[in-house]
Structure 1
């Protein structure tokens, strides 16, 4: 059974309590979003996700999308749900007020995004892609393009996509062949084929605005010759009404493992009219602004699936009776005890819980930095926030989606045979979660980005934005009577991370394959150290609240117990990644290709 209720109390804990001393200082521009409004927004988002999106999650997966008379149709209930989503203002939550947005902080908007991904990940992709397209357009588009298209994207009247991948090239965008021919009126004619285009066509909005990577006739080879062109499905008139069809066609819907209610399309552009976004031959700059936004969003997708998988597993573990407790009968009036009494079931549930709470805490930290990057009062704080976001973006994308995938599979295991059949809806989580480890750059690519670009950038400046607060926290709290043992465990893992960083810096400069061989293990280690830092801080806050006196004893005690489980069971294996990193590339790379 698919069960979901947004963990609002934990979300508010992360927004209001955990990161109040993150060092970014007071942020400007969010004064209207006080504690009361923040809580009210989360409550309303929960109602919508629970009551509108969750009921069509499983049915949407079963029905899928289809092409009907040349138009992509979404499953039953999706159009009505989207109308409510748009009318409720959810498409504009984080957008610039200049274009009709509400200007909410990312620290709030990411929590709402998590809810949407938990309740119905397929649905969440439609407005999610529009948000990403809006960010790229706002950052690089001309004033005329922004003034015309941004209000319609922000309102949800129109939707957006990004069109990168072609049949012969995925990550290696330097190989793309789509062409853009300049016209006398300053527009371009785009011709080419794209695949794997999320929300490439659908019936939720009347127009779809594509951001397409293409080559101009005078483009240099490779990635330095790529431009970004805005191509609408229908050419709009000056008043925004729809004009002529623009020869933009979804030629097929991909048959996928999961996310079946999300229309992943093969797209054809046939001399389709478009307009340049940004400068010629510099389209990747604009596209990467969108992609980096999407990479954080994909990490939230992993967290969202992990949360609904956890809640569904807890529901089943409390309801399903099987066997007797090893410590004595717990359900004397029944034929057996609920399976939540068994240690191995507890292991799975606690692992999922810790993954989710740890990911949410790190997400809140990164989201706070996303806000501080533009809204911190001090220039130094803005720069430090930007460095931190750059470092953590590949970690959020890769680690959260790995853990969300693990949680989805643990949920299936908790359900046993009932998890493997479709009727319970749990196997959908495992299928839906899998793609998040692949799109927006596979998790292996994220790890390479971390060690190859983010670590050496400006002599390790990005890393200092992470190392300094963790190091200071350890120094200040090793002798803390409440959390001292946790801090010592954090210190050990942080030491392993420092040694691993030095090893990669030394070996990788001489042999890039050494850095590549260590990349995935290093990303996981850094991510788990970040989680350990947030768990130790959370436990410290919880101990303080309990000493001060609170009517939420259960919440704060649960925080401490979950943190202790993380340090006891989950951090030690991650710390051991240092041994794999130190082993180097030899056994990984020496087997000849023909021997595989």
Structure 2
């Protein structure tokens, strides 16, 4: 049975020592996020994930969800009680608006908790995760009446939420969707159509499920310009806010999936179901993008979360598994063999995962802090700057963290040898569960194209220039610090690679858009490595400062940080050179073959 320990101390180090969260005290909600409060929240949240959610992860994988003859869905054993405990603890409303029952704590706090939930039980975490995205969309685009009707119940967890985009004939290209909305004459609409791959589409955890559905009003323009967004509740809501009669929406089937078996991924059939328009007609994608962007950040956290729990179990196994002797002579002469921790290649594998996880965690929290500034700051200039950063960083966070998260789950599985391939140790589940994060909420190739095609050129590359300028300023500030040289030199070189790649795309992508398309994934991973390298440089600076001040009992941990960061700089960051080389070859050979030649 796999185990999990929430990395509370690492989060606190990042929040308090690396990002100095106290500097954000002027923003709404941050005054309540004192160091003591943060420690209490994350410790309690970690405990819930370790003791309640993690033991159900294997249960959910083995049992899966069951669709009943009446179209209802039964979740795996223990999920209902776990969901009740999750809701009673207020975990679904950590960052939700206080006026509707949330705690309005910083988004960075709920992001940290989301990592714990994902590591302990990814399939379970998708139920409240989808609800959180739906809350965000309704809060931004819903009418006052819609907010009052739905948000308090959704924030409490009494009701849950979903997002309904994909149809059998269209995934990323939403302009092809066929679900239609016909006005009923009373302000509501009749929604008809079929949606597929709907996570948490039907289940027995909440009293009502609030579906956010993209549909085309009759007579609306074709393509994405004619799409509207609707609230379509499973049960209609009475005037007093209570649950009313059943709406005409039903789960047609549950998808048989490679992983995340504990989450009900449904085919949803809408047969004239009553829906209510959110925002303006034909502006549905604007509203849905609020939910999609939050979901993409959440999926990036899933990549990190699975990487972390897989790593923890691989380390535990490596310490116990006796196999062979160290190359420099026996380390445990009293035993028949040494643990595999003595072998350099085992160390290389584990260090690669560890170095990624710790930087990715910083990347995630740093991005979440920008989200807090973008949504809570009273300074319009700061809000705009952080919003620009969010737009730039979101596809990188989603694409890189999930690509590497899956790779790391496979690496962790490899530590077990043949034992990793059988189900007993649970490593197979981590690999299977991690795979979906690379696909949903926009496949990673789409994320790369979004980064190169939309985010980089926006406002003349303003966000990219701001990021590169920030990193350059940091490097200049620390250039004379001898202890920082192992971090400054490699990051300076990789920043140069990013600058060269950006210039190449600017010059050659305009000449031939296929050059940009062929190099998009390499560019995304190149920039991702630079961001992670920047995070390690910031971590190293904080660790050195902490050591200079006495470390307060954390000297061993801080020295481990510095060694792990150096490993990243020496062994992982140099890959920016190969990404630059590949990207710079352009699209010629990529596009040369005819379809018949494949």
- Asked if Structure 1 and Structure 2 have the same fold, meaning a TM-score greater than 0.5 normalized by the shorter chain, the answer is yes
Q: In structure 1, how many angstroms separate the alpha carbons of the residues matched to 2:388 and 2:23?
A: 13
Cα deviation 1:455-491 (Å, max 9, x = unaligned): 0001111213311210101111122110113201100
Q: TM-score, normalised by structure 2?
A: 0.98
Q: In structure 1, how many angstroms separate the alpha carbons of the residues matched to 2:89 and 2:510?
A: 52
Aligned length: 596
Q: Are 2:134 and 1:139 equivalent residues in the alignment?
A: no
Contact kept? 1:26, 1:377, Cα under 8 Å: no
Q: In structure 2, how many angstroms separate the alpha carbons of the residues matched to 1:302 and 1:465?
A: 26
The residue number in structure 2 matching 1:49 is 49
SS of the equivalent of 2:178 reads coil
Once structures 1 and 2 are overlaid, which stretch shifts more, 370-379 or 567-576? Answer: 370-379
Cα deviation 1:152-181 (Å, max 9, x = unaligned): 111100000000000011001000000100
Return closer, same or farther for 1:25/1:524 CA change in 2, 3 Å cut-off: farther
Q: In structure 1, how many angstroms separate the alpha carbons of the residues matched to 2:424 and 2:318?
A: 17
The residue number in structure 1 matching 2:589 is 587
- Correspondence 1:132-281 to 2 at 5 A: 132-281=133-282
C-alpha displacement of 1:415? 0.6
Once structures 1 and 2 are overlaid, which stretch shifts more, 459-468 or 158-167? Answer: 459-468
Q: Are 2:6 and 1:6 equivalent residues in the alignment?
A: yes
The residue number in structure 2 matching 1:572 is 574
Q: In structure 1, how many angstroms separate the alpha carbons of the residues matched to 2:223 and 2:393?
A: 28
Q: In structure 2, how many angstroms separate the alpha carbons of the residues matched to 1:144 and 1:486?
A: 53
Once structures 1 and 2 are overlaid, which stretch shifts more, 369-378 or 355-364? Answer: 369-378
Q: In structure 2, how many angstroms separate the alpha carbons of the residues matched to 1:162 and 1:375?
A: 25
Q: Are 2:318 and 1:311 equivalent residues in the alignment?
A: no
C-alpha displacement of 1:377? 4.3
The residue number in structure 2 matching 1:362 is 363
User: 5+ unaligned residues in a row in structure 2: which ranges?
Assistant: none
Q: TM-score, normalised by structure 1?
A: 0.98
C-alpha displacement of 1:575? 3.1
SS of the equivalent of 1:336 reads coil
C-alpha displacement of 1:316? 0.2
SS of the equivalent of 2:274 reads strand
The residue number in structure 2 matching 1:66 is 66
Q: In structure 2, how many angstroms separate the alpha carbons of the residues matched to 1:107 and 1:212?
A: 28
SS of the equivalent of 1:576 reads helix
Cα deviation 1:492-542 (Å, max 9, x = unaligned): 000000010011011111211111111000010111101111101111211
SS of the equivalent of 2:33 reads coil
Q: In structure 1, how many angstroms separate the alpha carbons of the residues matched to 2:4 and 2:566?
A: 25
Cα deviation 1:12-47 (Å, max 9, x = unaligned): 111111123999895343201111000000000111
Q: In structure 2, how many angstroms separate the alpha carbons of the residues matched to 1:243 and 1:540?
A: 57
- Correspondence 1:436-475 to 2 at 5 A: 436-475=437-476
The residue number in structure 2 matching 1:39 is 39
Contact kept? 2:326, 2:343, Cα under 8 Å: yes
Q: Are 2:557 and 1:539 equivalent residues in the alignment?
A: no
SS of the equivalent of 2:335 reads coil
The residue number in structure 1 matching 2:557 is 555
SS of the equivalent of 2:32 reads coil
- Correspondence 1:267-346 to 2 at 5 A: 267-346=268-347
Cα deviation 1:219-238 (Å, max 9, x = unaligned): 10100000001001111212
SS of the equivalent of 1:191 reads strand
Cα deviation 1:543-569 (Å, max 9, x = unaligned): 121122121111101110110000010
SS of the equivalent of 1:321 reads coil
C-alpha displacement of 1:306? 0.4
